């Protein structure tokens, strides 16, 4: 490789680094796992509680990151406007696109869903974001939202 190609390569790497840094500033993640358990609050007399999750906590891994129009308890989970699946030799990448321009409530919430658990974690998304792309790589369990 000649000197001119090295300069172009380094310049492109620097630009890619700046783009990634900007993208990371607008990135939102969920906790990768939560500890949760179930317990019957009032076991009827003469009965014993038994089950895989009885009285003990188990790890529940993150399976999805989505959004709701308002607090989750209002039940307005949003569906992505589009879903793209990209497959290369290394991994499959799923990208879901969300557009919040037609929101009903004043606030969009980030929502994290976990395997084998009814528990969801949520928090308000900063107001300045109107679109998000959720990128997930099923092979390694990584899920991240990039918003602008």
Query: Per residue in 43-74, pLDDT tens?
Result: 788 887 766 555 567 889 999 999 999 999 98
Q: DSSP character for 77?
A: B
Single out the residue of 91, 92, 94, 90 nearest to residue 82, CA to CA.
Answer: 94
DSSP helix, strand, coil percent of the chain (3-state; round to 5): 20, 40, 40
What number of other Cβ atoms are within 10 A of residue 38's Cβ?
A: 16
pLDDT tens, residue by residue, 17-45: 333 334 456 999 999 999 887 666 787 88
Q: Is the pTM of this model over 0.75?
A: no
In this structure, what token pair is assigned to residue 108? 């969009």
């Amino acid at each position: 490789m000649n000197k001119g190609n090295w300069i172009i390569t380094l310049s492109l790497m620097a630009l890619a680094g700046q783009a990634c840094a900007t993208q990371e500033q607008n990135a939102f993640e969920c906790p990768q796992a939560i500890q949760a358990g179930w317990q019957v609050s009032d076991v009827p007399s003469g009965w014993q509680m038994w089950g895989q999750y009885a009285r003990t906590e188990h790890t529940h891994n993150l399976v999805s990151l989505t959004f709701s129009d308002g607090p989750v308890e209002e039940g307005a989970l949003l569906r992505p406007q589009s879903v793209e699946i990209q497959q290369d030799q290394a991994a499959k990448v799923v990208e879901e696109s969300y557009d919040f321009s037609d929101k009903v409530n004043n606030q969009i919430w980030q929502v994290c869903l976990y395997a084998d658990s009814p528990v969801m974690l949520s928090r308000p998304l900063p107001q300045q974001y109107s679109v998000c792309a959720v990128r997930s790589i099923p092979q390694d369990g990584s899920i991240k939202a990039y918003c602008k």
